[in-house]
């Protein structure tokens, strides 16, 4: 009988130890994933081109995929974004087009499948808008926006 009690205690201790290790590992993995809900990019964003009124939308999903629309163009992409901003405050965003309807975007251009683009994203302090730049130059000369948050995990569409 005593032998069974020792075995039960050992099993319980091993289960608790395993649970603790798995919990710590899961927490570390969630912190390392730039697309977790903690990352401000995850959500549905919109921007209007001032000169034409053309609407662009960006839906960044937690799983690293994105859906973009610009004018008549509809794209699907895979993206990566740095988990922390650089010293200038920019997040580096890279996306590769995986699907395109070949429509014309707001600038009357199309995006080809497998093309990759890198941009630098600078969020406003409140997190409800950002600008997108060709580089992380603080002069902001190569930027457009604002791109405004319309929906994320804590907000619904208007």
Q: Could you tell me the pTM of the whole model?
A: 0.73
Q: Is the dihedral of CA 147, 153, 154, 158 positive or negative?
A: positive
pLDDT the model gives residue 137:
87
> What number is the average pLDDT over the span 51-65?
95
Is 50 exceeded by the pLDDT of residue 23? no
pLDDT the model gives residue 136:
86
Is 50 exceeded by the pLDDT of residue 13? no
> What number is the average pLDDT over the span 17-30?
45
- Residue identified by tokens 């799983």 is 63
**pLDDT (tens digit per residue) in 72-100:** 999 999 999 999 999 999 999 999 999 99
Give the 3-state secondary structure of residue 4: helix
Is 60 exceeded by the pLDDT of residue 105? yes
pLDDT the model gives residue 24:
46
H/E element holding 51?
none
């Amino acid at each position: 009988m005593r032998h069974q009690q020792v075995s039960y205690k050992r099993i319980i201790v091993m289960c608790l130890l395993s649970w603790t290790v798995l919990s710590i590992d899961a927490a570390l993995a969630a912190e390392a994933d730039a697309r977790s809900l903690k990352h401000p990019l995850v959500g549905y964003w919109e921007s209007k081109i001032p000169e034409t009124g053309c609407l662009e939308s960006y839906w960044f999903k937690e799983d690293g995929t994105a859906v973009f629309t610009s004018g008549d163009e509809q794209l699907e992409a895979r993206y990566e974004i740095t988990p922390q901003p650089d010293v200038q405050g920019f997040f580096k965003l890279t996306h590769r087009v995986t699907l395109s309807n070949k429509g014309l975007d707001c600038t009357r251009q199309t995006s080809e499948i497998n093309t990759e683009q890198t941009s630098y994203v600078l969020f406003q302090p409140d997190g409800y808008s950002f600008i997108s730049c060709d580089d992380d130059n603080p002069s902001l000369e190569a930027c457009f926006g604002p791109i405004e948050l319309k929906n994320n995990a804590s907000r619904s569409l208007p």
